[in-house]
Amino acid sequence: MPESVMVFAPSPQLTVTVEQVGDDEQEIHLHAGGQGVWVARMIKSLGVRAVLCSAFGDETGRVVRNLILDEGLELGAVDVSARNGAYVHDRRDGQRREVAEAPGRPLSRHEQDELYNVALAEGLRAKVAVLTGVADPQILPPDVFRRLAGDLRRNGTTVVADLSGDYLTAVLEGGVDVLKVSHEELLRDGMAPDDSIPSLVSGLFKLREDGAANVILSRAEHPAFVLIDGEVNQVELPRLEPADHRGAGDSMTAGVAATLARGGDLAEAVRTGAAAGALNVTRHGLGTGRADVIAQFTTRVELTPVPGGGAVPPPEPDRSGHMSPEQLAEKVTHA
């Protein structure tokens, strides 16, 4: 298989940003946006081929499609009647403020089938597939993600997912090799009662129990946690002053996928993803960064034991042969 990644991004968005240039001049910028676009953009920046599988329709769809192609990203495109979403941001005062948003429209059953077939074909050609969500959950039913994850994994493609809510539940049922999730999403989805270390560790093992072989948990300004091969570590990296907080998680997902597509192991993938995410927040473009700078920064990223626990010791099974996530968290806390 070639070193390539299929990025499933059902409905990219058109982003319009108003910027202040000098005292009396303004600029309006048009970009393709949405989680999948940002992930694919960073994968390409890291020198790995990325194929974005998406649906495009109506005026916004035509504009978004051309903007993506202008960036040099490859597309597995499906023409649909449903429009793509759009949003307008005002950044003239240095802060990003939403002015207006028009959500995308749901895909019909036929359009869903066409998009699924394109994504499946491209995913089977790739070493790695990344499944990303949509801004409006009405666009695509969660079961599409369950089927796609399962079909790709059964046929040898490594599946990376960056999802939440019903999409997360669905993809866990299908099975995923690497799941990236934020601690806010973990709390919102009821996977952890609070953001304490024992609760988050418990949530990591609950996700593994539900279908994620390995888990990366981002924690805003705090070091991320990773569950790899049954061990929990935290990701330590130098602190940088952010220019724009958005996009760090998507860049981390992209760095993981690109490294795995090149044949790297998961620990190396996590370090690369953390470096890509950390450096992305020093820029004003989402999913952007220089591969050489990221490679250099990767050498400064370390996986270290979680405070109070470090690597999780082998669980002590109960009569059924299993240990609950709460018992595992308790063991980490008191180790």
Token digits of residue 289 = 């960064």
C-beta separation of 64 from 14 below 8 A: yes
Residues 199 and 320 in one domain: yes
Cα angle: 72, vertex 78, 83; to 5 degrees = 95
Closest CA to 259 of 140, 128, 139: 128
Taking the C-alpha atoms of residue 222 and residue 196, their distance in angstroms, rounded to an integer, is 12
Taking the C-alpha atoms of residue 297 and residue 301, their distance in angstroms, rounded to an integer, is 7
Beta bridge partners of 77: 54
Q: What are the pLDDT digits (tens) for 150-198?
A: 999 999 999 999 999 999 999 999 999 999 999 999 899 888 889 899 9
Residues 13 and 137 in one domain: yes
Q: What are the pLDDT digits (tens) for 274-295?
A: 888 777 655 444 444 567 778 7
Q: What are the pLDDT digits (tens) for 265-275?
A: 999 999 998 88
The count of structural domains within the chain is: 2
Structural domain harbouring 37: 1-175
pLDDT band at 239 (very low <50, low <70, confident <90, very high): low
Phi, psi of 284, deg, nearest 5 = -100, 5
Which CA distances in Å does 86 have to 9, 101, 200? 15, 6, 34
Residues 57 and 79 in one domain: yes
Token digits of residue 114 = 């066409």
Non-local (6+) Cβ contacts of 39 within 8 A are 7, 9, 50, 130, 132, 162, 250, 251, 253, 254, 257, 287
pTM of the model: 0.84
Residues 200 and 169 in one domain: no
Which CA distances in Å does 72 have to 8, 12, 14, 115, 297? 17, 16, 17, 21, 25
Within-domain flag for 182: no
Instruction: Give me the count of residues in the chain.
Output: 335
Helices (H), 281-324: 291-298
DSSP states of 55-67 as a string?
A: EE-HHHHHHHHHH
**Element (DSSP H or E) covering residue 275:** helix 266-280
Taking the C-alpha atoms of residue 51 and residue 48, their distance in angstroms, rounded to an integer, is 10
Within-domain flag for 164: yes
Residues 193 and 168 in one domain: no
Residues 115 and 227 in one domain: no
Token digits of residue 303 = 């996986």
Among the candidates 175, 204, 220, a domain finishes at 175
Token digits of residue 157 = 């493609």
Question: Across the chain, which distance is largest between two alpha carbons, in Å?
Answer: 73
pLDDT band at 319 (very low <50, low <70, confident <90, very high): very low
